[in-house]
Chain A
């Protein structure tokens, strides 16, 4: 019971989210990568660039999701050169699907592809285990998403503004972090629209306090009012 398996494969327990709004998409994720019970990286970046206008949220096996995104980035780069203009989100998502589907027995990664192109605007595609592709107005994934189905059923609305969408994503990832041991760290968001890409970073103290959580302090001593040891 006290064993820590430092040789366990790196898994991004994870909470990942992609949401469309009236001008583009907002992608969000936590930042915890764990090997068994140990948090190998507490500030990972799970939202990965495929092209200037398409990003992917990665969950599941860190290795598998990295190698899939590396291949897709490579193919999309060539495709962009051949096409002479930015790739569409649908093409990027389909490339992800092809890899996930044709290697289904050897991969353990769930992905959310999100981006903006001039034909269809903001789009989100979910590619879960097995390689299904499904276009959705919003998508959630990773172990932390189990805690968010009810939340999104209630809180999701069509036609949100950029700020509303980002608030929703921030709130949702923060709620999942509160209950999923495999998710944690900071909330990262990426906003993609016709103007470009904006990355944001929200550490714990900038997130709301949920049920049974407390305001944080530097030390118990500050609360007790005990005198600090004197220093000369």
Chain B
């Protein structure tokens, strides 16, 4: 490892985004992420867009180091540009974009200079829905529902229980909101400003940011230490 290359290696992340959660639904893919960019334990940036449309058929959601995500967006912009320049009526679908990202992530990992992200790539092409994920060490797979980070522990169990392949848009949104609310309660780096986006055969829509109501009215929350002073 020579010293010139060392000075550019990502050793640890600085500004990070938290979980992304995504599901297949009747018309395509629904994806959700909050808009937080944390700087260690500080919630420094609260309007970071972590869901981006890619070409005509895909949506990318990213967690992890934001600067690396921005670099990936540059790579993908070039990829899509060259694809358009062929002007041959064909366009890269989500499966191809996911494969490209997987190769990039894995090859960087092999050079000990990873892009410090966990990515979710979803899309629809010619009626076929696709949802996959790839992370900084190159692990990649597809499934009916995927998540990054703490979402794997908190959201996916909910999805395993409540997902089905005929979800309407409204049902899908409510399901994602349920997952995002749990993440709000239980993930330190979650921020209460959420973006939901969908992709269908017609195209991609990223909805405006919104905040979720949270529930604190359990009677047990009022005076938890009554009768057990000094506990939590």
Contact = CB atoms under 8 A, between A and B. Distances in A.
Decide if A and B are genuine partners.
Answer: yes
Interface of A: 1-2, 4, 13, 31-34, 37-39, 41-46, 48-49, 62, 66, 69-70, 73, 143, 147, 178-182, 184-186, 199, 201, 203-205, 212-221, 223-224, 226-229
B224 A43 contact: yes
A44 B171 CA distance: 33
Given A42-B185, A212-B193, A213-B193, A48 B211 contact: no
Contact of A212 (B46, B153, B208): B46
B137 to A, nearest CB: 9
Given A41-B232, A49-B229, A221 B173 contact: yes
A66 B232 contact: yes
A180 B186 contact: no
A219 B216 contact: no
B166 interface: no
Nearest to B187: A37
A43 B216 contact: yes
A144 to B, nearest CB: 9
Contacts of A199: 223
Contacts of A69: 230
Contacts of A223: 208, 210
Contact of B221 (A34, A43, A181, A216): A43
B224 A37 contact: no
Nearest to A177: B43
A185 B42 CA distance: 16
B133 to A, nearest CB: 11
A73 B218 CA distance: 28
B232 A45 contact: yes
Nearest to A209: B211
Nearest to B208: A223
B148 A2 contact: yes
B167 to A, nearest CB: 11
Given A178-B43, A223-B208, A229-B170, 20 more contacts: A2-B152, A4-B150, A4-B153, A33-B232, A38-B188, A42-B185, A43-B216, A43-B218, A43-B220, A43-B224, A49-B229, A69-B230, A180-B42, A181-B41, A181-B189, A214-B211, A216-B211, A217-B211, A220-B207, A226-B169
Closest 8 CB pairs of A and B: A203-B216, A43-B221, A212-B46, A214-B211, A216-B211, A44-B232, A181-B41, A216-B213
Contacts of A221: 170, 173-174
Given A181-B189, A212-B193, A217 B43 contact: no
A143 B188 CA distance: 13
B64 interface: yes
**Residue among A143, A220, A227 with the highest chain B CB neighbour number at 10 A:** A220
B186 A38 contact: yes
Given A34-B188, A37-B187, A213-B193, A62 B232 contact: yes
A89 B231 CA distance: 21
Contacts of B47: 212
Contacts of A70: 230
B174 A219 contact: yes
A226 B173 CA distance: 11
B81 interface: no
Contacts of B174: 219, 221
A13 B193 contact: no
B192 A216 contact: yes
Contact of B38 (A33, A44, A181): A181
Contacts of B187: 37-39
Nearest to B139: A2
A48 B210 contact: no
A32 B232 CA distance: 10
B62 interface: no
B221 A186 contact: yes
Contact of B214 (A49, A147, A204): A204
B124 interface: no
**Residue among A43, A44, A228 with the highest chain B CB neighbour number at 10 A:** A43
Interface in B180-219: 185-189, 192-194, 196, 207-214, 216-218
B106 interface: no
Contacts of B216: 43, 185-186, 203-204
